[in-house]
Structure 1
């Protein structure tokens, strides 16, 4: 877990998957843990590297895996943020509620990334690198449209209000959501 949290974003998803079964693991789970440990052993030369950049700017990338949890059908959110091209923050984890569509799952991932982006924007501002807005790249055109447009959509009226705060942050100019 320490490697995933501190230095190895490449194993975040795999560690998250196997850690769900810690309370009652079976043989398949132990095999998966051994696979992760072998992967880490064989990639000890992988490391986070930080290089100096003339443009110290926070940018983020987010995605979701719709209904990936086969037991409860919850989706997985993943995001990564870079400053000056260097990875500074990442997360991969189950969404708290079941998404009813891929658009909703992507939108929920975008909102989680937006919360992290606003926090990082504040941190880098305090460190003397103020930034007008943070760009977040998302591969879902539907989620991007939802974030930019506050018009009522018949197919998305079920999405919880707590996820619509992103519209305000985009409108005020703190975030810019782009397709990648």
Structure 2
């Protein structure tokens, strides 16, 4: 459908999308019908989106759009949930999922990971925590060589890009 240019056209678009969706039994909507419904809701005037009772619809539209934009990530999550977590295949799928994860999922993963890492003593130019091989080894009860081998294995297996290793200046936390 053509994109609306006025608030009235935007509301007409929502109405047309709702009518198209109502023509199908629950759970049997073609993707293009659901896509248009989500798009039309998100393009509706702010006053319409803030109308009482619209919160659930707007949340659905946002979730639908996110799943459409990041289809590979959500497909990988589905696969991950159906397999044993203690397998190399699970690790590989997890790393693939993280490479294509939406920003808010990456942020949440980083926040969850922080509680397992040692206390940062240094940061990079952007203020992100930096850890030395020695810190990681000590925190996890490994030798420096074991940590270096683990990192190299992650790089060799394609789970980590060598360019992601920080080689620039670090600054002590104050």
Fold equivalence (TM over 0.5): no
Point out which structure has higher relative CO (alpha carbons under 8 A, 6+ apart). 1
Which structure: greater strand fraction? 1
Say which structure is richer in helix.
2
TM-score (norm 2): 0.27
